[in-house]
Amino acid sequence: MASIGTVFTPAGRKALLLGSGELGKEVAIELQRYNVEVVACDKYPNAPAMQIAHRSRVFNMLDGDALREAITSERPDYIIPEVEAIATPTLVELEKEGFNVTPTASAALLTMNREGIRRLAAEELSIPTSKYRFASNYEEFVKAVEEVGIPCVIKPIMSSSGHGQSVIKTPEDIEKSWKIAQEGGRAGAGRVIVEGFVDFDYEITLLTVRSVAGTQFCAPIGHVQIDGDYRYSWQPQAMSEEALAKAQEIARKVTDALGGYGIFGVEMFIKGNDVIFSEVSPRPHDTGMVTMISQDMSEFALHARALLGLPVPEIRFYGPSASYAIVVEGDTKVVEFSDIEKALAEPGVQLRIFGKPEVKGHRRMGVLLATAETTEEALAKCRRAAEAMTVKAL
């Protein structure tokens, strides 16, 4: 029997968010709808989820000792990793000691490291993936590129949002790509994956929910990335019944292997009716922000409901929708959004401003959402709203 008592009492429930960006903020909101106490953690102060959480903690989550101290002192009912940059071996230890990690500590460990999840999918589950090799130093890297072939994609085994990612198109790019990968890894310089270039028609994120009621799938989400970072997405992505069935089968295999309850963002390449597995995140996915307008329960609401041990019997999809990231460039702690009334003048358009405290280089600071009769028109609405609004780094 699931029960949640009054917050701040022994009968209450407490969740520790490891990562407090825009995705963590939405998860925190959904948890609070269930009267769950939320402690938001991140490496910097005043992160988006911290602004609405009950309490917050600032520490380096890659520091295993600091992570253990936070968890053992808070003693949360739910530990919720929301980013990759976490000392996951410590989470594994704490789970063995009785702490509850969502969806599981092993899922966080495997998916934080591209090598772990790629070997699980390709070598243990026999799921189609791109050709790949791993390299720990420059000599191994050169050999890996030779074996995979040019063109190929280079990524640190631990990174996110496109950091450290590049494409080798000619032999002259090899040394440069190695340097980019070494500078962009979450934990600093280290091991990289060399992936064969995949010829695909489009790529999708298939949000997969595991709850006490079983496994459910959201409508497939199409998306476009620039330098490995999401820029806009739409739902549903048109695809054949055969391709969708294959995608769901792959997503089910991967998420069953990872286990636990919660939402998983499973990324795949589609070529005709062929489906190639790419990556999986055991948490809400940035491309899935479109679900804040497209479904009765967003990916964040689904994640909160599932991890609390509550059933997800169905997911109601409203219709064609789109999301469009608002990316700000500069070096500032002051960002001004103006002409918002112009952006929201058109029916079916919504705006979320994340509340991130600063920009260094470029950073996703908000998202526009829209519904329409078709996904193309929903995207067009988002673009018109973005053009109408003025965003300045002051």
Pairing of the two strands 214-217 and 202-211: antiparallel
Tokens linked to 14: 């407490």
Tokens linked to 147: 């074996």
Tokens linked to 56: 């917050």
Q: Catalytic annotation on 279?
A: yes
d(CA 186, CA 201): 30
Type of residue at 312? V
Q: Catalytic annotation on 305?
A: no
Task: Give phi and psi for 98, each to the nearest 5.
Answer: 115, -5
State whether residue 31 is helix, strand or coil: helix
Which residue among the candidates 56, 106, 130, 160 is catalytic per the annotation? Answer: 160
Which residue among the candidates 37, 173, 203, 279 is catalytic per the annotation? Answer: 279
Q: Catalytic annotation on 287?
A: yes
364 touches 308 (CB < 8 A): no
Strand partners, 361: 330
Q: Catalytic annotation on 9?
A: no
Q: Catalytic annotation on 267?
A: yes
Query: Which residues fall within 8 angstroms of residue 229, CB to CB, at 6 or more apart?
Result: 161, 162, 364
Q: Catalytic annotation on 77?
A: no
d(CA 249, CA 46): 40
Which residue among the candidates 162, 228, 330, 348 is catalytic per the annotation? Answer: 162
Tokens linked to 269: 């390449």
Which residue among the candidates 267, 294, 352, 355 is catalytic per the annotation? Answer: 267
Q: Catalytic annotation on 199?
A: no
345 touches 251 (CB < 8 A): no
Which residue among the candidates 21, 286, 294, 384 is catalytic per the annotation? Answer: 286
Cα 162 to Cα 129, 181, 182, distances in angstroms: 19, 10, 13
Known catalytic residues are: 160, 162, 267, 279, 286-287, 364
